[in-house]
Amino acid sequence: MTKVYVPRDMAALAVGAKRVLAAIEKEAAARGEAIQIVRNGSRGLLWLEPLVEVETPEGRIGYGNVKPSDVPSLFDAGFLRGGAHPLSIGKVEEHPYWAKQTRVTFERVGVIDPVNLDDYVAHGGGQGLAKAFEIGPAKVIEEVTKSGLRGRGGAGFPAGIKWKTVADAPADRRYVVTNADEGDSGTFADRMVMEGDPFVLIEGMTICGYAIGASKGFIYLRAEYPQCAEVLTEALEAARKAGWLGPNVRGSGFAFDIELRIGAGAYVCGEETSLLESLEGKRGIVRAKPPLPAHVGFMSRPTVVNNVLTLATAPAILAKGGEYYASLGVGRSRGTMPLQIAGNVKFGGLYETPFGLTLGEIVNDIGGGSLSGRPVRAVQCGGPLGAYVPPSLFDTPFDYEAFQKHDSLIGHGGLVVFDDTVDMAQMARFGMEFCAIESCGKCTPCRIGSTRGVETIDRIVEGVDVEANIELLSDLCHTMKFGSLCALGGFAPYPVESALRHYPEDFRKATLPAAAE
């Protein structure tokens, strides 16, 4: 029986994967062909979705951009045996976009059946947890520290130090919380790993719980990811049935379980203290720090709050060793980063690679430049609160410190590309407006500053007292940056300041005709 892989990832479903699946099943039945359908995650070659794969003795052969109307011709071409067809991309694992990656966190994403625990184990799953039980909690934290893994949510705080802080905090109980409130525009890595390899997150949380002495974990998932919730629910049930969660995890004597909680759609709940408030059933507003969640977190207990990717990387670190992971990357940015390439770009998708590629290599070589064919004018790095980077800085290596030197952020690894038709004054306005809409309202710089920022940009665009208003906007950005309680208000100035710095002409358009006269 031939295995046919049709992704259940949301990106594939959005472009018709479910209709393609129905067409394949109908055509196979009509022709008397025996097939086994596997609903895998996405490989991350998103411009090729729906990407249907067929298992052959030579390897898995891929067919990209498949539509239901293509299915009869695929069968005519003998695609169940890897037959030639205009939609064929050959062996998926030899496709340059895939073959050039260094997949660590995403090693199994798109490859396995995401809710089949046996498939997970057959592809190396579970080795990290087995190693953790073998070496004990203290050594687990040592390995994570040695790896140089930093929080992948955007802040880049060393994961091993956070875990040790929680483990050392005196308490009657501790918690592990996965921040799966992935709300940044242009980011989708968390969703992809949860939909394509949910057991790696479950394993990573269990490793963390074992290391810090926690018996309970939560996944705080954004409401806008219903497909993700479905896959996670199936995976959690399968893990409990197989003894991977519960009172005696894999016969180790260690008790640990995970609860899935769905957020209510507030962007600010991606901030860890707002998330904890929401998790406790309260309105999602930020807490003043200190105390840090590592000391006073969920229900006032020491809590590790880590991003999905941070925890999903822990199994590979334990299985392959901290030194292996630390051998990848540059400077203080160790390991790999799943780049999420989006916007006006030819080859949008997820590309996992060690830190250190230049921004130009990512946008032009991997992403293929703009989809429109026009020159790239800006790349927003790190979500809607990230800075806009011009092509003149495309030689900047993708690592935390190199970006900080240019007053920019790598954030969660999201990159949104714009061509030369973009109006950067309007993009700056969008950044401020986004903050005004999403602000929790607790601190004045964020709540009032973002609204005043929108009004000031509007006056600049209308040509009202432009230079004085630009000075006022810069002053406002400074106040928000250093006076806000959390990263929402504190980072909102990044897109505005970078637009002012790199694209000053876009803020003075209204004055140009008068100057010309």
Query: In the 3-class helix/strand/coil scheme, how is 451-503 assigned residue by residue?
Result: HHHHHHHHHHHCCCCHHHHHHHHHHHHHHHHHHCCCHHHHHCHHHHHHHHHHC
> Measuring CA to CA, which residue among 373, 467, 386 is closest to residue 430?
386
Coil, strand, or helix at residue 139? Answer: helix
Question: What is the structure's pLDDT at 383?
Answer: 85
Phi, psi of 476 (to 5 degrees): -65, -45
The structural architecture, per CATH, of the domain 327-417 is: Roll (3.10)
47 Cβ neighbours under 8 A, 6+ residues apart: 346, 347, 348, 349
Question: What is the structure's pLDDT at 258?
Answer: 98
Which helix or strand (DSSP H or E) is residue 337 part of?
strand 336-343
pLDDT 10s digit of each residue in the chain, 517 long? Answer: 899 999 999 999 999 999 999 999 999 999 999 999 999 999 999 999 999 999 999 999 999 999 999 999 999 999 999 999 999 999 999 999 999 999 999 999 999 999 999 999 999 999 999 999 999 999 999 999 999 999 988 788 999 999 999 999 999 999 999 999 998 888 999 999 999 999 999 999 999 999 999 999 999 999 999 999 999 999 999 999 999 999 999 999 999 999 999 998 899 999 999 999 999 999 999 999 899 999 999 999 999 999 999 999 999 999 999 999 999 999 999 999 999 999 999 999 999 999 999 999 999 999 999 999 999 999 999 888 899 999 999 999 999 999 999 988 898 899 999 999 999 999 999 999 999 999 999 999 999 999 999 999 999 999 999 999 999 999 999 999 999 998 889 989 999 999 999 999 999 976 665 555 5
> Measuring CA to CA, which residue among 222, 206, 225 is closest to residue 214?
206
Bridge pairing between strands 88-91 and 376-381: unpaired
How far apart CA 264 and CA 493 sit, in angstroms, is: 26
Q: Where are the domains of the chain?
A: 1-94, 115-325, 327-417, 422-505
DSSP state of 362: I
**Torsion over CA: 354, 359, 364, 370 (sign):** positive
Question: What is the structure's pLDDT at 517?
Answer: 53
Helices 127-135 and 137-147, packing angle to 10 deg: 120
CATH topology of domain 115-325: Rossmann fold (3.40.50)
Question: What is the structure's pLDDT at 385?
Answer: 87
Tell whether omega for the bond before 86 is within 30 degrees of 0, i.e. cis. no
- Are the CB atoms for 125 and 199 separated by under 8 Å? yes
Coil, strand, or helix at residue 424? Answer: helix
Question: What is the structure's pLDDT at 384?
Answer: 85
**CATH code for the domain defined by 422-505:** 1.20.1440.230
Coil, strand, or helix at residue 52? Answer: strand
Which residue type is seen at 37? I
225 Cβ neighbours under 8 A, 6+ residues apart: 10, 180, 182, 191, 194
CATH 3.40.30.10 fits 1-94, yes or no: yes
Coil, strand, or helix at residue 512? Answer: helix
How far apart CA 385 and CA 395 sit, in angstroms, is: 22
Which residue type is seen at 499? A
419 Cβ neighbours under 8 A, 6+ residues apart: 344, 370, 372, 374, 375, 376, 377
DSSP state of 413: S
Tell whether omega for the bond before 50 is within 30 degrees of 0, i.e. cis. yes
Q: What is the DSSP code string of 152-203?
A: TTTT--BHHHHHHHHHHS--S--EEEEEE----TT--HHHHHHHH-HHHHHH
How far apart CA 381 and CA 340 sit, in angstroms, is: 10
In degrees, rounded to 5, the angle at the alpha carbon of residue 104 between the alpha carbons of residues 156 and 405 is: 30
Coil, strand, or helix at residue 341? Answer: strand
> Measuring CA to CA, which residue among 442, 421, 436, 441 is closest to residue 493?
436
Which helix or strand (DSSP H or E) is residue 135 part of?
helix 127-135
How far apart CA 465 and CA 469 sit, in angstroms, is: 6
Structure tokens at 476: 């406002």
Question: What is the structure's pLDDT at 514?
Answer: 55
**Helix ranges (DSSP H) in 299-421:** 308-320, 322-326, 359-360, 400-405
Coil, strand, or helix at residue 256? Answer: strand
Question: What is the structure's pLDDT at 197?
Answer: 98
- Are the CB atoms for 5 and 55 separated by under 8 Å? yes
The length of the chain, given as a count of residues:
517
Question: What is the structure's pLDDT at 398?
Answer: 94
Question: What is the structure's pLDDT at 487?
Answer: 86
- Are the CB atoms for 149 and 327 separated by under 8 Å? no
Bridge pairing between strands 35-38 and 414-419: unpaired
